[in-house]
Structure 1
Amino acid sequence: MKNIISIVWNSWLKRHKDSVLLFDSIAAASEIAFMLNGQWDGCNGVIIADGDEIAVNTAAKLMSATWCYQGASKAVLDRVTTDEILRRYAIGERNFVNANLRCAVLASVKLSEINLSYASLSWADLSQANLSFADLTAADLSQANLSGADLSKAYLMRANLKGADLQQASLHGANLSSACLSEVNLSDADLRGANLALADLRGANFHECNLSGANLTGAKLIESDLAFARQ
């Protein structure tokens, strides 16, 4: 069967070169990466330089898995417990792409440089957490508690932070371009040098928020909301 997959795999559809595929099983992703000569990301993603959808579908069927292209849609994994993510992080794992951590309690934990891109973190408690240099690209952080969290130099491009609590959070140098920050509490937050280009900031609370050097190019906001911010 592997020979059949290899033959089909050589007839690559050029438009999907260097694709990242997401599977609904970590075990399946690992096995399929081996079958298709791809690179497993340690979670549910497989990076491939060459291949075609017929080969991927054949391999996925063998593993009873479903898949999608990263960014096109989401292959949501089973819920990850707080204990599991802390255990795996402690032994050096950093890739938790697309993890389901909705409503998780991760207050005051150290998760710097973690990859939680495309993860579900809505309503999660991340207060006082260290998420410096974390990759939260396109993550769902709506209604999350991030008060006092360290998000300095974090990647939050296209992240959904609607209604999140970021009071006293450090976002110094963070990349929030095209992120949704509508109705976010940013009181006393540190946004020095942050990239907020094209971000949606309508209805955000900027009381005593430090926006010195922040990039607001093309951002959607109500000018009067900035009246009490520090710039």
Structure 2
Amino acid sequence: MAAKAPRISLAGSCALLLDGAQGTFSDATQELVWAVANAALTLEGVREAVPGMNNLLVLFDPLATDAHRISEQLKSLWAGVDAHTVAGTHHTIPVSYGGARGEDLAGWAAHCGMSVDETVRRHAAATYTVAAIGAMPGFPYLSGLDPRLAWARRGTPRLKVAEGAVIIGGAQAGIMPMTAPSGWHIIGHTDVKLFKAEAELPVLLGPGDKIRFTIAGMEA
């Protein structure tokens, strides 16, 4: 079955945003986003293709091409490329749940109507996929969260969420690669570093990578 045509709009003078979302997040749509991103890099004038959550930002050189041409090419790619999974790296990330560095754990469990132990068990039982990297260097948007664990983002973001915070935002999971503001709920902490500016490869995770969380401890 052919994918529904995406919405394509200008994102400044030298970029287009392709939005393939059909309501709730779709892993199948994300695989198509990855495939189109790879193919778009072969188009004349395209400088960069950045996957988002069921969308794609394409930056182009206006001296080599134009928005209309790129838009038509993206539509053709969307209809014609074969969606495929990315052969990403598998990561195991230990998490200390609760305590001062997981302050929303009890509230999250209550929201889900489960015990703390059950919510933690379900969170650690899933296999997550890095759908996209964005918001800040190295931040992974993770699909695969058990729908029963979803929790809408906070009405008022915190101004300082620590590096390593393991977080929940709506139907997505995430990990803070640096200390920064966030409206996501904090359920635990990991010492795994996702971003090292001085490293040859500064970002640990990439689209298509798989993540399993392990329970390193539970803090009161």
Structure 2 length as normaliser, TM-score?
0.29
Greater relative contact order (CA < 8 Å, ≥ 6 in sequence): 2
Q: Please identify which structure carries the higher helix content.
A: 2
Q: Please identify which structure carries the higher strand content.
A: 2
Q: Which has the larger radius of gyration?
A: 1
